[in-house]
Structure 1
Amino acid sequence: MGNTLFPIQFAAGSSPRWGSLNLVPLQNAEWDDILQNILVFIPLGMLLPLISRIRSAPRVLLVGFLVSLTMELPQYANAVLWNGGHVADVNDLLANTGGAPLGYGIYRGMLLLPAFRRRLPAGAGRPG
């Protein structure tokens, strides 16, 4: 987890890695990595309607995209500027982005359970 949140790695005496960007979907895709990226963003989609006014799948999708993009851009910048060890990957961006609305769908499904709805504070995350 720290490797994703803190992607900065300094490699002294190395030249920048300009090729540290994959913009071709599914090129060199590792399916276990894709699954992990989906899973790590499911909680975001479940929590957004509980902690914010975001209560629609398109908005959750947009937030998932923006959060993932803010993780991938520093990885690319680090690779170019300091020869960091990451490749900014469109597969990660797509998988993360897809995990957020999946989590939102799980949350919406849980709203169908009366026991879950009863445990929510008034107005917290309930669809308007």
Structure 2
Amino acid sequence: MATWQDMSLAAMKAARLLAGRKNHRSAINRAYYAAFSAMTNEIRKRTHEFPRGYEHPPHVRVGSYIKRFLTDRTKAHRDELRDAMARLYAARVEADYRHESTPTDREMGNAMVDALYIMESVGVI
């Protein structure tokens, strides 16, 4: 059975491969899930209480889980983590559901930077 950390690392590996092939949409998607899985791994060290029996926090509420459960970090750091996750979520939604848009190299790069920041901050990498 894969752990959240395993899924984070696998998603980042895929994001890097897709980014190298200029597959912007899929790279952004995988970068988001790399960060989401890393953050879920960290949050699950503190709670397993998620709605509807899920094994992870709801995507739209990750920021509130960061604020509530990552209290061993400074408020400024929690805010940075929350903001990075919010940017990644918005980029993923744009890439996955707004087909009229075309993600740029810069947007893909920003998603990769945010995902790697999250993964490093929670000790996945």
**Bigger relative contact order, structure 1 or 2, given CA contacts below 8 A and separation 6+?**
1
| Structure number, greater radius of gyration | 1
Same fold (TM over 0.5): no
Q: Comparing both structures, which one devotes a greater share of its residues to helix?
A: 2
TM-score (norm 2): 0.28
TM-score (norm 1): 0.27
